[in-house]
Amino acid sequence: MSESFSRVIIGTLITPDSVVPNGYVAVRGETIAAIGAGVPPPALETIDHGTNLILPGLVDGHMHTSSSTGWPGIETATRCAAAGGVTTCCDMPYDVPKPVTDAAILADKIGWVERTAHVDMALYGTITKFGGVGAIPELAAGGISAFKLSTYEYDAVRFPRIDHPTMLAAFQAIARTGLPVAIHNEDQELVETLTAEARAAGRTDPIMHCRTRPPLAESMADLEIFEMALETGAHVHIAHSSIARGFELAETFRALGAMTTGEACIQYLCMTEDDIVRLKGFGKCNPPFRTAAEVERMWGCLVAGKIAYVSTDHAPWPRERKLGDDIFACGAGLTGLQSFAPLMYTLLAERGLSPTLMATYCAERSAKLHGIWPRKGALRVGSDADLLVLEQGDFMFDEARIVDRPEMRWSAYHGRMMRARVAATYLRGTMIWDGEQVLSRPGDGRFVRRAG
Ligand SMILES: [Zn+2]
């Protein structure tokens, strides 16, 4: 009798609505062919993870592989994803030297994904600062999962501010595609003026990063994009809200009939202003860390279901870009792919919350928003057999074990005690991380088109 399954993987299954001890996932080819509990069915290979937790491979809805190194960063960032149990990366479009602003650039980037990625990738698209609205239909047709625009300018080419009339026209065009548009939400004038005042006063110490990007800089930007969402019918999504108010505004506008959502990055669920004082440049990201009281309000929003999903905003700047006494001169962004799963598990455990919330907020909801569920982000028959296996225990997170290039091996979570580690990762049925080393090769990852 020939075995009907190529591989059976045993452990405690965690889905958004269940915890199943003695469970199994049976794989045929690259997809999940059966799920159950108790005596597993025969297969060509059986891998028993004992009491370890098996979750859907995480879908990180927001990260940047290529903002410092260009597309070669895809290979190294997705190695970290493999080691971190993230099996689908939704990559931002703000790449050097070319952001993803038309179908030809998108096709080039897809080629890099197919040749070099270790995990599967969905891609965002964006528009040029001027005259780029016309490329919106071709980017959507090319299979991007979402658009990304910004109210704040980091760079006129790579990461431009889109002015109000252009953004309004872009939202009208994006509404016709049915895709969501994520927005980097900070008010340019407020931040620039506060930063200039801080510099003039000789204050370039770490806490001034928080003071010059106050919560109001976010909520003002949230309001303008949500007003345009209401006007145009576009699904407008805050790419990262560090404040509970962002989610409350999204809810208020939904009640008015708009399609408005917001995302939390994991750092806003645990880091505070004290951490940037301690970490200096290595704790700099935009928006900045807030107060401990704000972190509590963020958890209130998560537990109440007001947060669309939780992401990393992984942006691996080389160590040298994070050094120096001038906080304004440091690159903004944290590494996060390899720490994502252990940290999310730990934060939930520390609050007495179920790991089912991790399956919900770090896999199912992000996959749904990006139009790739249930192929991705689900433990279901017919889904890709993407699995995250977590071993519970006490593990110190050590930045030296980050599998990115040497200058990217730093973490704001270095030395933090974690309550779990990633014991294995499976991509479409194949183990790509065994708890010690990355087993995948560049090109094992694929581009994932938005399905609808
Ligand atoms: Zn980002």
DSSP one-letter string for 211-254: HTS-HHHHHHHHHHHHHHHHHH--EEEES---SHHHHHHHHHHH
Tokens of 173: 């065009």
pLDDT at 193: 98
> Ligand 1 center to residue 240 CA distance, Å?
7
Phi/psi of residue 43, each to 5°?
-155, 165
**The pLDDT value given to residue 452:** 73
- In the reported structure, the alpha carbon of residue 451 is separated from the centroid of ligand 1 by a whole-number distance in angstroms of 23
Separation of alpha carbons 9 and 261, rounded Å: 36
Q: Separation of 311 CA from ligand 1 center, angstroms?
A: 9
Measured in Å, residue 63 CA sits from the centre of ligand 1 at: 6
Q: Give me ligand 1 centre to Cα 23, in Å.
A: 36
Amino acid making up residue 54 = I
CA 263 to ligand 1 center in whole angstroms: 11
CA of 184 to the centre of ligand 1 (A): 7
Q: Which residues surround ligand 1, an ion (CB under 5 A)?
A: 313
Cα distance between residue 448 and residue 383, in whole Å:
13
> Can you name the residues that pair with 392 across neighbouring β-strands?
420
b/e per residue 39-72 (b: at least 16 CB within 10 A): ebeebeebbebeebbbbbbbbbbbbbbbbbbebe
Gap from CA of 11 to ligand 1 centroid (Å): 34
From the CA of 92, how far away is ligand 1's center (Å)? 7
- Whose tokens are 């792919």? That residue is 337
Distance of CA 94 from the midpoint of ligand 1 (Å): 9
- The pLDDT assigned to 3 comes to 61
**Per-residue buried b or exposed e for 352-383, using 16+ beta carbons within 10 Å of the residue's own CB:** eeebbbbbbbbbbbbbbbbbbbbbbbbbeeeb
Q: Token digits for 90?
A: 């939704």
CA of 312 to the centre of ligand 1 (A): 8
> Which residues, 6+ apart, have CB-to-CB distance to 351 below 8 Å?
299
Q: Distance, CA 96 to ligand 1 centroid (Å)? A: 14
Task: Kindly provide the b/e burial profile for residues 189-226, where b requires at least 16 CB atoms within 10 angstroms of the residue's own CB.
Answer: ebbeebbeebeeeeebebebbbebbbbebbbbbbeebb
202 C-alpha to ligand 1 centroid (Å):
29
Q: How far is CA 432 from CA 75, 111, 236, in A?
A: 14, 21, 35
Separation of 62 CA from ligand 1 center, angstroms?
Answer: 6
Q: Report the separation in Å between the CA atom of 246 and the middle of ligand 1, taken as the mean of its atom positions.
A: 16
Ligand 1 centroid to 10 CA: how many Å? 35
Residue 15 · residue 359 · CB < 8 Å: yes
Cα(247)–Cα(219) distance, integer angstroms: 10
The residue type found at 121 is M
Q: For residue 50, report the distance from its CA to the centre of ligand 1, in Å.
A: 37
> Which residues touch 352 (CB under 8 Å, ≥6 apart)?
none
Q: Where are the alpha helices (DSSP H) in 215-362?
A: 215-232, 244-255, 273-279, 292-303, 340-350, 356-359
pLDDT of residue 197: 98
Kindly report the pTM of this predicted structure. 0.98
**What residues of the chain score a pLDDT lower than 70?**
1-3
- Between the CA of 286 and the centroid of ligand 1 the distance, in Å, is 8
Going 297 to 303 to 306 to 310, the CA torsion angle's sign is positive
Distances (CA, A) of 133 to 96, 187, 295: 20, 22, 37
